[in-house]
Amino acid sequence: MINRPVATLIRQQILLTLPPGTPVREACRRMAERYVGSVLVTDERGHLLGIFTERDAICRVLAQARDADRTLLAEVMTTKLSTLPPSGGALEALRLMQDGGFRHVPVVDGERVVGIVSWTDFRAPEHVRLQDETRLWETMR
């Protein structure tokens, strides 16, 4: 199936979520333990506040010589998020990532975070379909 719902990808996920007051070093340690490229930053009610990714760690912490023990996620997380509902399709997720220049999309059901998808979660046919659609749109311009 080329445009399977993202819900099929997040069924067995155990989300890595942390509060905004978590030090960057702790978030990076947890990401390394779980071998994931991002952590979802949530409030005490589980509402999504932002995302902290490998790219944030490099560009907003390491490249700026910030202290990872003293820098909090709230200071360096990405807050302008694109999200998808569980019914969203693979192509929609890939389009969001391609157009936005990022590799992770939180999956949100109402106000509750239920998962996350990454560029690498999708199969080759889904990537090929996205390329085909992109080429088509570019020729129509």
Which residue has better confidence, 1 or 6? 6
- 38 lies in some domain: yes
Q: What pLDDT, on a 0 to 100 scale, did the predictor assign at position 92?
A: 86
| Segment 49-78, tens digit of pLDDT | 999 999 999 999 999 999 999 999 999 999
Over 80: is that where the pLDDT of 134 sits?
Answer: no
- The answer to whether position 47 is within a domain reads yes
In a domain, 91, yes or no: yes
On whether residue 1 sits in a domain, the answer given is no
Tokens at residue 66, please? 């910030």
The pLDDT-based confidence of 26 (bands split at 50, 70, 90) is: very high
Structural domain contains residue 48: yes
Say if CB 41 and CB 50 are below 8 A apart.
Answer: yes
Q: What is the CATH number of the domain that holds 49?
A: 3.10.580.10
Cα–Cα dist 132/137, whole Å: 9
DSSP assignment, residue 48?
E
Q: What distances in angstroms separate CA 119 from CA 46, 65, 115, 116, 132, one per listed residue?
A: 24, 28, 14, 10, 17
pTM of the complete model: 0.80
How close are the terminal C-alpha atoms of the chain, in Å?
29
Amino acid at 51: I
Is 89 within a domain?
A: yes
Domain with 14, as residue range(s), is 7-140
Exposed (0-12), middle (13-18) or buried (19+): which is 103, by Cβ within 10 Å? middle
Sheet holding 17-18, edge to edge: 17-18, 38-42, 48-53
Domains held by the chain: number: 1
Q: Does residue 55 belong to any structural domain of this protein? A: yes
